[in-house]
Amino acid sequence: MADDAIFRIAGLGKAFGPNAVLRGVSLELRAGEVTVLMGANGAGKSTLVKVMSGVHHADGGSMQLGGNPFAPATPAEAMGAGVVTVHQNIDDGVVGALDVATNLVLDQLNAAGQGIFFNPRSIRRRAREIADRMGLELDLSAEVADLSLADRQMVAIARAMAHRPRVMILDEPTSSLSSNEAERLFTLIEHLRAQGVAILYISHRMSDIRRVADRIVSLRDGRIVGRFEDRPLDYEGAVNAMLGRSLGPRNITSKAATQPVFAAEGLQLVSGALPFSFELGAGEVVAVVGLVGVGKTRMAETLFGIHAPVDGQMRLDGRPYAPANPAVAIRDGVFLVAKDRAKTGIVPDFNIYQNMSLPFLRRFSQFGVARRRAERAAARRQIADLNVVCRSERDEPATLSGGNQQKVAVARWLSQPSRMLILDEPFQGVDIAARHDIAAKLRESAADRATLLFLTELDEALETVDRMLVMSEHTIVGEYLNREGDIDRLLADVAGGGRSAA
């Protein structure tokens, strides 16, 4: 019943500049229950977590904890009130250079009223209490930096539990854990549930959700779009609500390549991996799909000249292609929209037009002097083409939403003709509208080049590409056209992997 909710959110709103991220979120959490919050990238999950944990402050709406108004000014205040967050980045939750025992009691050491002397024995004793309560079986004197990721995660959670929280938020806790390690985490979560903690579990991994969820809430575009509480839980409905539609091939008319552009023969990405071959043609949009960590980024960066392949040949338009560095690749017409635009794409001190012209400054320059007028004109064309929401081409990227930043990163490489355009996770942290815009633009402009995307989310591939290559363990294990019938086999490939190369 909603009435026994220990934590209640009503009409929460939050905007960053012109970009509204939360648009009236209402949510209840109950003691002893795991509420799973599902949402695609950019749905507003992490913003919601940050508002709940006192990092951000809501623009509107209210929160209540145990019937009392709850509006933490700082993370410490939220923690003190009993709302504890374990963040996605495990190392934010622990201090690597200290031992497990000290980590477990770290917050108490910082609390007011503690003596200035450090008594290792009493610390060990208090840490032991916490560990026993949690069922944590770890060497308390081990240094945290030496522990596995999963163990570090356990320590972070146990440390959070030392506050005796009433609400615990777990933000994608399994994102860097193996399935074995994840199982230990789930055991721990059951422990917490039995102790009457209200848990908000954020994830979009179906296996996790099936394992722990008591109820599911779907978030999309800053709103709660579905609540699923009836047993058995309607997982498919939750996913559909999260994505806004059902999984399946889009109304894509698969196009075949008009002429061959790029070919790789016996390409071996890392030593020990199986070599593979593939061809790309002009006019087709192809995706390499595979789970996190199968070598997609390695392959994208190899094609772009950042890494050299261990073995194998590449040919571009019939000529041998072996780029020594990105400059050579760009000169030959191979462009890469790299993964994680904040690290490898956007230059934060540059405005939009400076970001767009970055790789092609030579073409915009006369005698070494950059012609700003030409740069700006080109940028304005791209802004109009891709529907970038901004005031002008002189806006700084930090004022744009994630989707629009990504549009800028993509537009940079669309501004000049290419032979092969590679996009590594181009839809990461991008809202759906922007994703549609980018995908449509890619397909529309694909006629004269080969286009290769690297995607983890199958759904994104299905709505964008003509053909899919499935990657597993640094090699290509299957090839499918984007049409009904091929999808089921493809899913099996992605999950199973390790088959002989296509």
Residue 321 binds other proteins (CB under 8 A):
no
**234, two tokens:** 């309607």
Residue 396 binds other proteins (CB under 8 A):
yes
Ordered DSSP codes for 382-433: HHHHHT---S-TT--GGGS-HHHHHHHHHHHHHSS--SEEEEESTTTT--HH
Window of 11-19, 51-59, 72-80, 170-178 that interacts with other proteins by CB under 8 A = 11-19
Which residues from 134-193 bind other proteins, rule CB under 8 A?
A: none
- Quote the CA–CA distance of 422 and 338 in Å, as a whole number: 8
Least distance to other proteins, CB of residue 18, Å: 5
Which residues from 398-427 bind other proteins, rule CB under 8 A?
A: 398-399, 401, 403-404, 412
Chosen residue from 10, 111, 361, 377 binding other proteins by CB under 8 A: 361
Name the residue with tokens 């440390």.
159
Nearer to other proteins, 132 or 229 (CB): 229
**473-to-19, 289, 296, 334, 488 alpha-carbon distances in Å:** 39, 12, 9, 25, 20
Residue 228 binds other proteins (CB under 8 A):
yes
Which residues from 258-317 bind other proteins, rule CB under 8 A?
A: 304, 306
**449-to-238, 262, 263, 418, 464 alpha-carbon distances in Å:** 38, 9, 13, 6, 16
Window of 74-82, 289-297, 383-391, 474-482 that interacts with other proteins by CB under 8 A = 383-391
Chosen residue from 124, 184, 223, 483 binding other proteins by CB under 8 A: 223
In this structure, how many other beta carbons lie within 10 angstroms of the beta carbon of residue 276? 21
**193, two tokens:** 């549930």
Nearer to other proteins, 23 or 126 (CB): 23
R_g over Cα of the chain:
25
Least distance to other proteins, CB of residue 218, Å: 8
Least distance to other proteins, CB of residue 357, Å: 8
Nearer to other proteins, 125 or 245 (CB): 245
Chosen residue from 324, 369, 384, 495 binding other proteins by CB under 8 A: 369
Contacts of 347 (CB under 8 A, 6+ apart): 354, 355, 358, 397
- The helix/strand/coil state of 128 is helix
Pairing of strands 68-69, 19-30: unpaired
Window of 77-85, 127-135, 312-320, 431-439 that interacts with other proteins by CB under 8 A = 431-439
Least distance to other proteins, CB of residue 22, Å: 13
Answer yes or no: are the C-beta atoms of 282 and 259 closer than 8 Å.
Answer: yes
- H or E, element range at 180: helix 179-194
Residue 236 binds other proteins (CB under 8 A):
no
Nearer to other proteins, 210 or 331 (CB): 331
Residues found near other proteins in the complex (CB under 8 A): 1, 17-20, 220-221, 223-230, 234, 237, 241, 244-245, 304, 306, 325-327, 329-331, 336, 338, 343-350, 354, 358-359, 361-362, 364-365, 368-370, 389-391, 396, 398-399, 401, 403-404, 412, 431-434, 436
